[in-house]
Amino acid sequence: GTAKQARDREYQAIMPLKGKILNTWEVSSDEVLASQEVHDISVAIGIDPDSDDLSQLRYGKICILADADSDGLHIA
């Protein structure tokens, strides 16, 4: 896609996701950790679910991009 082509490969990564991601504000922490999508995102950015220390994260910024079709309107 366009985002992958436009990124600076030295400093930016792309992780495509499919479907609707779990709303983590509305569920228990067990449900959050059981979500494969949330797990994959956590691993990619370096989150340790048992630690509050964010100093070892792999990225300083995270941007979430959504496509412009009608099924993504609720994201904005």
Domains in the chain: ranges and CATH: 2-75 (3.40.50.670)
DSSP annotation string for 36-50: HHHHHHHHHHT--TT
**Across the 76 residues of the chain, what is the mean pLDDT of every consecutive 10-residue run?**
84 83 85 87 88 89 78 61
Q: Which residue, 26, 68, 22, 28, is CA-closest to 42?
A: 22
Q: Kindly state the greatest CA–CA separation across the chain.
A: 37
Helices (H), the chain: 2-6, 29-34, 36-45
pTM: 0.69
Q: For residue 45, what pLDDT is reported?
A: 92
Q: For residue 4, what pLDDT is reported?
A: 85
DSSP run (H or E) holding 63: none
